[in-house]
Amino acid sequence: MLKRTLFFEILPQLYHKNAIVITGMRQVGKSTLMRQLFNDFLGKRLWFDLDNPLDQLVFENLDYNVIYNDLVRLSDVKKGAPLLVCIDEIQNMPEITIIIKYLIDYFGVKFIVTGSSNYYLRNLFPESLSGRKFLYVLPVLTYREFMYFNGRLNENQLMTNLDEAIQPKSKVNVLQTKELYDEYLEFGGFPEVALTHNRETKKQILKNIFASFFEKDIKIFTELREVRELRDLILLLAVRNGNLIDVTKLASELAINRVKIYNYLEFLEGIFFLRMVPKYSKSIDRGVAGGKKVYFSDTGILNLVAKVTDGQLLETAVANQLANYGDLSFYNKRNKSEIDFILNKEIAFEVKQKGLEADYKKLTNLAGEIGIEKKYVISNSVSSVENAVYPWFL
C-alpha cells in the first residue's frame, strides 16, 4: 500500500505508551494509514471498526478488567505482553475513551484510533486521555504525495521541509515538477481520486465523497438538523472562497441568525471541510484581529460545488499546502492592500498566476511595515522574480 508522509512521522511513536489518535476529513486515508501501522507492529494486534455493532460489543462490559481479559483471549497474547488495539471510527462510541485510559494505565495496552472530526474529538477527549495521546491530523494529499501516488516520486522522496521547498530551482526542474499540478488543482488530493485516471470517474468519486459528508457527519452531529441550510451555506462559501467572511451578509442571504452561521462554520472547520485563516496579529490572541478568510480544504470539492476562477483554485491549494508547515494568517491594510499569507508570523507569501517584480516590490513594502523580513512571491508559471517560489514544490 502507498504510504503517506504522516506514516513516517507516526512510526517512531508506535511503541510509546500514549494512544495515537488520527483525525481528518472523510476519505483521506485514515483507515489505510492505521492498517499500515497495524501491519508494522511487532507483537499481537487486534482491529475493531466501530461502524460494526458487533465490534462495539467487546467494549460494552461495565467491568474494564473483563474487557482486558477479552482482548487477551481474542489476541492470544500473554498478559502484560505488548498488545496493539486499533479502533476505527471512534466517534461512534464516545464512552470508549474512558476504557482506553484505564487499559493504558493498568495494562499498558497500545491504542491507535481514528475519528473523522476534530469537532467530535474535542468532546471525546477533553479530560479522559489528557497527557495520554498523540494527536495527528491527516490532510488530503500534498502535491508531493500526489506525484508519489502517480509514480513520479519514490517513497524516499516523500519527506520535505519548507527550507528545501523555497530554495531556487533550475528551469528544467521547475517545468518537470509542474507536470501534474494542473490536474492536482482541478481534482484535488483525495487518494482515491488521485489513483483514478478517468476524468469522469474522478468527478463521480468526488460526488460520492461530498454525499458521504452529508450521510455520515450530519447524522453523527445530531444538533445540525437543517441539512438544506448547511448545503446552501456551503454553496455561498464556495463562490466566496479566498475572501473575507461577512457573517451578517451570509445570515441575511440564508434568512437565518448569525449564531447559527457561526455554529455551522465551526462545524465545517471541525470536520476539516473548510479552513479559516485569521487576520495577522502580533498579539497572542488572534481573535482581536477581526474577520477570517475561508478556503475549502480540497480544490476538487471546491470545483465540484462552484465555478471558481483559476486564481481561487491556486490560492486555495497554496493555503492548504502552506498550512502543513504551521499557522497561517493574512494581512489586510485598511482594505486597500493585502498579503495573501503569513506563515508562523515570520514569512510573507503573495500568490500570483505569474509573479512579477512589481508584486515582489509591493510585498516587500507591506511586509516591512509589519516587521517581516522573509517574503516570497508564489508563482504558478516561470517567473523572473529572484525570490519566486513555485507551488508545486511546497
pLDDT digit string (tens) for 127-143? Answer: 667 778 898 999 999 99
- Specify the number of domains making up the chain: 2
Residue 266 shares a structural domain with residue 207: yes
Quote the domain boundaries for residue 220: 144-393
Residue 188 shares a structural domain with residue 121: no
- Helix ranges (H only) for 132-257 are 143-149, 162-165, 171-177, 181-187, 191-194, 199-212, 218-220, 227-239, 247-254
Answer whether 194's CB lies under 8 Å from 146's CB: yes
pTM of the complete model? 0.91
Which of 365, 383, 378 has its CA nearest to residue 166?
378
Residue 244 shares a structural domain with residue 389: yes
Residue 93 shares a structural domain with residue 222: no
Residue 200 shares a structural domain with residue 260: yes
Residue 157 shares a structural domain with residue 228: yes
Residue 156 shares a structural domain with residue 176: yes
Share of the chain above pLDDT 90, in %: 71
Q: How far does the chain reach from its first CA to its final CA, in angstroms? A: 24
pLDDT in tens, 252-292: 999 999 999 998 898 899 889 999 999 998 764 444 334 89
What does the alpha-carbon distance between residue 381 and residue 352 come to, in Å, rounded to a whole number? Answer: 9
Of the candidates 104, 137, 170, which is a domain's last residue?
137
Of the candidates 95, 116, 137, which is a domain's last residue?
137
Residue 306 shares a structural domain with residue 179: yes
- Helix ranges (H only) for 48-170 are 53-57, 64-75, 96-107, 118-124, 143-149, 162-165
pLDDT in tens, 62-112: 999 999 999 999 999 998 889 999 999 988 888 898 999 999 999 999 999
What pLDDT, on a 0 to 100 scale, did the predictor assign at position 121? Answer: 67
Which of 173, 209, 180, 210 has its CA nearest to residue 197?
180
Answer whether 135's CB lies under 8 Å from 21's CB: yes
Instruction: Tell me the CATH number at 52.
Output: 3.40.50.300
Residue 194 shares a structural domain with residue 240: yes
Query: What's 179's DSSP letter?
Result: G
Residue 174 shares a structural domain with residue 319: yes
Place of cell 498523540: 134
Residue 101 shares a structural domain with residue 202: no
* CA atoms within a 13 Å half-sphere pointing along the CA-CB vector of 204: 6
What does the alpha-carbon distance between residue 364 and residue 370 come to, in Å, rounded to a whole number? Answer: 10
Of the candidates 85, 118, 137, which is a domain's last residue?
137
The one-letter amino acid code at 124 reads L
